[in-house]
Amino acid sequence: MATGDIYRALHARSLNDREAFWLEQASAIDWTRRPDRALDDSRPPFYRWFPGGELNTCHNALDRHVDAGHGDRLALIYDSPVTGTVRRYTYRELRDATAELAGAIAALGIGKGDRVIIYMPMIPEAAMAMLACARLGAIHSVVFGGFAANELATRIDDCAPKLILAASCGIEPGRIVEYKPLLDQAIELATHKPAHCVVLQRPQAQASLVDGRDLDWLRFVTGKPPAPCVPVKATDPLYILYTSGTTGQPKGVVRDNGGYCVALHWSMKNLYGIAPGEVWWTASDVGWVVGHSYIVYGPLIYGATSVLYEGKPVGTPDAGAFWRVIAEHKAVALFTAPTAFRAIKKEDPDGKLLRQYDLKHFRTLFLAGERGDPPTIEWAQRMLGVPIVDHWWQTETGWVICGNFVGLDPMPVKPGSTSVPAPGWDIQVLDAEGNRVKPGEIGAIVGKLPMPPGTFPTLWNAEDRFRQAYLAEYPGYYKTGDAGFIDADGYVSVMTRVDDVINVAGHRLSTGQMEEVLASHDDVAECAVIGVADELKGQVPLGFLVLKAGVERPHGEIVSDVVRMVRQRIGPVAFFKTAVVVNRLPKTRSGKILRGTMQRIADSQDFRMPATIDDPTILGEIESALKPAGYARK
């Protein structure tokens, strides 16, 4: 049997015999009432998975492993270099702590269908909070700890929580971020007022509590009778996760219980190649979809050991932080964002810190969140000597759209490509008129409906917005918002967001292709390309370069190099003439580069401070760097 044959047969079956395929995968999950069919397609384009089924997601993540005799297996390893703490929880310990917290929440009148906002840093109690809500059938909405008060207020008003679970502070390298003043301000701004806030007091910053509304976590929770798991419908919401909307009003992505459990369980073995009991590490945050799917729910539903890390890739204490965690906990795989590896490469380009650690248990590195540019992937491959798998998915999809299924049928890696579609995904590339383009041609990447289990069925209280934002432009398809191409082998390359395809004198060009060239320069650690307004050509590309630590060559020489490289590899049609060297790039807290904001600064346009920005001061640095090049406000 040739490489890829197993995958191709399985993928074809997932599309051609959808009912049988997904009911078969559903048998790996515990149900209180088994679904009688896989797909409810009675109301397109609103599809629902496993109608008639009932289950509890917390039971599938914790109780069933204890019941099966695996209670002493490690479930969660909390590793916090910012506090110098490592704590380990077995499945039994995590179940008992979660059940106690659920009992406390239930005592406040929280039950099936009620909403609970979780506003916490990367600590074990954040995972317990999510699982405790799931245990009761309550719908949680995690908001990234330290998020701005006005943004938190919009989420409070949108999902109307009865309860907020919070911590007194988060810890960043060199600073304490107090959460409670932000939470108090958000509640003051919000029209909806939650009845209670339960606040975990961390020793690094004690929060003041509001009488009658706020409760001290330890005093209130400790000793509460444990709550049992409450069965919910497969189609009931497990959580709401807000993602930025173009209107400034966040979009509440809804995730159901049944399809999500089935999809995540399938992916742990077949995509990530993990066995129950092995140590799996996702270096992300529970405020993002990656943290929901692959720090908390995915590994626990599957019975693996999940690392929950409160730290950074560099600065806690150095660029060897990731290698320490992998070596110390014997992690077999790591899932993180390419931006983390670009940061490590910038600080330690020769991998000197890596050589201090024994990574003999480590098998695979998985990247997602932004495009895995070939130079970064090739650097990681050279340093680690293990397969590097770039895969593609979104907040809306909940799990992978395209990847290399290392646990099922590993296929050749093509640097720059996210490999092949996951089961249930019929991926196509369309032009502006909705016609399929030829292999290798760039267009809008779409997925034929219905999307597979685990993806979002709708937006919270916004069915029309769901239809308009994702389904209206290409009827019968889900609009991913990403642009790229499918090659002759069926491999999908996601080059950029559709908004980042620039039009230079009538030629549609991908900024991602140009970034790939810039990133291949020996002195460049990280880069970005945007399109800026030009009277003659409509738009022209402008590059931003972050250099590796220790580079001493004149910046003008490096800029000349990359301009010449783009001309050689893409051609004069790209009209790439200018790049500026900056110390860092503006990013969201999840590591995505804020190209749209950079473009508005370069074009001297007003812009709204992005809610998810990691450090707002960077924008001033970008503006200062652009002025000598003739861009930004004069």
Burial 205-229 (b: 16+ CB within 10 A, else e): bebebeeeebbebeebbeebebbeb
Q: What is the pTM of this model?
A: 0.86
Instruction: Measure the CA–CA gap between 156 and 467, rounded to whole angstroms.
Output: 23
Instruction: Measure the CA–CA gap between 459 and 532, rounded to whole angstroms.
Output: 33
Instruction: For the chain, give the mean pLDDT.
Output: 93
Token pair listed for 130: 């999510």
pLDDT for 573:
74
pLDDT for 634:
45
**Can you say whether the dihedral through the CA atoms of 105, 109, 113, 116 is positive or negative?**
negative
Instruction: Measure the CA–CA gap between 515 and 523, rounded to whole angstroms.
Output: 14
pLDDT digits (tens, 9 = 90+) for 538-556: 788 999 999 999 999 999 9
Mean pLDDT, to the nearest integer, of 620-628?
Answer: 88
pLDDT digits (tens, 9 = 90+) for 15-59: 999 999 999 999 999 999 999 999 999 999 999 999 999 999 999
pLDDT digits (tens, 9 = 90+) for 310-350: 999 999 999 999 999 999 999 999 999 988 998 899 999 99
Q: Are 595 and 500 in contact (CB under 8 A)?
A: yes
Give the E-state strand segments of 370-415 in sequence order: 388-390, 392-393, 400-403
Burial category of 269 from C-beta neighbours within 10 Å (exposed 0-12, middle 13-18, buried 19 and up): middle
Instruction: Measure the CA–CA gap between 604 and 602, rounded to whole angstroms.
Output: 5
Instruction: Measure the CA–CA gap between 8 and 10, rounded to whole angstroms.
Output: 5
Q: Are 236 and 370 in contact (CB under 8 A)?
A: no
Structural domains in the chain plus CATH codes: 5-311+391-484 (3.40.50.12780), 505-629 (3.30.300.30)
